[in-house]
Structure 1
Amino acid sequence: MVEVEAEYDGQRLDNFLLRLCKGVPKSHLYKAIRGGEVRVNKGRASADTRLSAGDTVRIPPLRLPEPGAPRPVPGTEFPIIHEDDALLVVDKPAGVAVHGGSGVSFGVIEQLRAARPDARFLELVHRLDRETSGLLMIAKTRKALLALHEMLREGGSRKHYYALVEGDWVNDRQHVKLPLLKWTTKSGERRVKVDATGQQAHTIVSRVQRYGGRYSLVDAELRTGRTHQIRVHLAASGFPIVGDDKYGRDETREAFARAGFARMFLHARSLALPHPVSGETLQLEAPLPPACQAVLKRLETE
């Protein structure tokens, strides 16, 4: 608990925190503000809130490594959906980044390399957002990596996701074709928005289950692979994903977190593509995580 001194009267909350929390990535501080972990006089506040002398600011615990001390990468294996000499497909849990960077010391690929020191080649084929769970491909040879990259560029694979969205999705099947443009906030956070000058993006959304007109489970098939594509397409259509901290509603995310579901409900559930070496068709599936299943079961009874 920090009391605002007179010399900082009128300062924005985000600038006040950046001064006090030197070394903490900006993205972590803004996420703490959005999540309600930072409080001003016991109430929620936005990043641009102007502080007054005498205000009390609650700063949540923020752990930092010792200066200059590299964080060791724990060797970790993830649930394997498919593995052969050319390709590894794992079921990535939510909350784990696919690679280090942007305030994250390590991710799936670094942990796999640490767990498999004798592996000569392990490279990510594609990415999943940190809070998205499900199928993630890792190439075990350069030949496989190049073949898979070309396949993804040419639309040679079919990737389906489950998403729980706010609202009553009534259409059986809908094509969402909205161009997407990347942009960066003042805090350095990467975002995507619908913009006529952006890249072409195409998602096919199919209804799976409706829950009392308040929520819907949908299947989203990627026909292009843009950053945050499903998240932005659904939000722009008026159906934000439950738990999405960038494009969803804070009130909904907080309500589900209080009920024990503190993640985004987006799961890469199935993948169909030719094997990069043999050409044999691979049809892979990752089961919906137990936490997601529990949410759906609860909604069925409400």
Structure 2
Amino acid sequence: MKMNELRHQIATEPQSRPSGLQVAYVTVDESSEGQRIDNFLLKVAKGVPKSHIYRVLRSGEVRVNKGRVDATYRLQNGDVVRIPPMRVAEKAAPTGGFVPAGEFPVLFEDAALLVIDKPAGVAVHGGSGVAFGVIEQLRRARPEAKFLELVHRLDRETSGILVLAKKRSVLVHLHEQIRGNGMDKRYFACVAGEFPNTRQHVKLPLYKYSTPDGERRVRVQADGLASHTVFNRMEAFDGYTLLEAELKTGRTHQIRVHLQSIGFPIVGDDKYGDFALNKALSRSGTKPGLKRMFLHAHRLTLTHPVTGAPMTVSAPLPAECVEFLQQLRQGRPARDAD
């Protein structure tokens, strides 16, 4: 049964469905292999209240290979899932609007992976006031793709390497690598101030919270999540430093908040940066000048989830960042890192 047909059938009101309508049976393919049954149902049953999904799971109305399963069961290729018709919430009307097809510079692609170079200013997915992002545009551009999911995320104003999985099994494998520190993620960041150390470890716990207007923020706080970043000085200028950041953990806004907390905010950071400096740098005709945040995911090393071979992908520094560094070199005395 096709996904659209399945969604239509399970969304029928149980009390008013025609007597001839039967429950849906779907055979799991590799696009859903490894996914938890509750998440699978939430995906195919758009608009069905989450509480109802868990209720039909507990009652045994949902079955896999004719047997009862709990919400944590992970689907296997070839499983046959029995799904009863379920009630759609009244508020579940189509939202959003037209999503344009979008393609982005491809750094690597095969049957398992798609690695792109995301530009600054583009969200990776829709939500929080953003109608659509990279993932929605890529899905629109590749309607033949059975499965396409983000492996990780980048902040909207961060550019660089973004990895997407083309199979559920690949997504699961890469998430395991992330949890086991099997990925080496490197970022370039230009900061305000002259960074004193050639190499510095920053281990400060990070706490995520929301502002009164609902904006997501992060701060250093004793009861926050353990977080670790290593900073390597790449090039030093009068008043600025180019750093490479190694992520040892992957917390929200980690690099940005760690640098702010030790007194070296990222140039152009509109949440945690030096706002007066950012304003001055963004004025037309200013040299050095920059109208974006200087944070770029430039290198990623991982194990290929299918072949098992180590692989490294690199993304060139964007033109506006290259120009900013050239202006720093030309306009002020500069020195290389030790």
| Residues 223-248 of structure 1, C-alpha deviations (whole Å, 9 max, x = no match) | 00000000000000100000101100
Of 254, 257, 260, 2:279 maps to 254
- Structure 1 residue 69: Cα displacement: 8.2
Give 1:299's aligned residue.
328
Q: Which moved more, 1:250-259 or 1:216-225?
A: 250-259
> What is the rounded CA distance, in whole Å, between the counterparts of 1:121 and 1:288 in structure 2?
30
The runs of 5 or more residues in structure 2 that have no matched partner are 1-93, 332-338
The runs of 5 or more residues in structure 1 that have no matched partner are 1-67
| Residues 142-170 of structure 1, C-alpha deviations (whole Å, 9 max, x = no match) | 00000001110110010000000000012
| Deviating 4+ runs (over 3 angstroms) | none
Give 1:267's aligned residue.
296
The answer to whether the aligner puts 1:107 opposite 2:111 as a matched pair is no
The answer to whether the aligner puts 1:286 opposite 2:315 as a matched pair is yes
- Structure 1 residue 261: Cα displacement: 2.3
The answer to whether the aligner puts 1:222 opposite 2:273 as a matched pair is no
Give 1:8's aligned residue.
none
Aligned identity (percent) is 59
> What is the rounded CA distance, in whole Å, between the counterparts of 1:193 and 1:135 in structure 2?
25
The answer to whether the aligner puts 1:72 opposite 2:98 as a matched pair is yes
> What is the rounded CA distance, in whole Å, between the counterparts of 2:312 and 2:325 in structure 1?
25
The answer to whether the aligner puts 1:177 opposite 2:197 as a matched pair is no
CA RMSD, 1 decimal: 1.1
> What is the rounded CA distance, in whole Å, between the counterparts of 2:96 and 2:221 in structure 1?
40
- Report the AA paired with residue 299 of structure 1: L
Relative to the length of structure 2, the TM-score reads: 0.68
1:84–1:195: structure 2 CA closer, same or farther, 3 Å change rule?
A: same
> What is the rounded CA distance, in whole Å, between the counterparts of 2:152 and 2:174 in structure 1?
9
- SS of alignment partner, residue 234 of structure 1: helix
Give 2:142's aligned residue.
116
Alignment of structure 1 residues 1-302 onto 2, 5 Å:
70-212=96-238, 214-258=239-283, 259=286, 261-302=290-331
- SS of alignment partner, residue 282 of structure 2: helix
| Residues 48-76 of structure 1, C-alpha deviations (whole Å, 9 max, x = no match) | xxxxxxxxxxxxxxxxxxxx984311111
> What is the rounded CA distance, in whole Å, between the counterparts of 1:162 and 1:226 in structure 2?
17
- Report the AA paired with residue 288 of structure 1: L
- Report the AA paired with residue 281 of structure 1: P
Give 1:55's aligned residue.
none
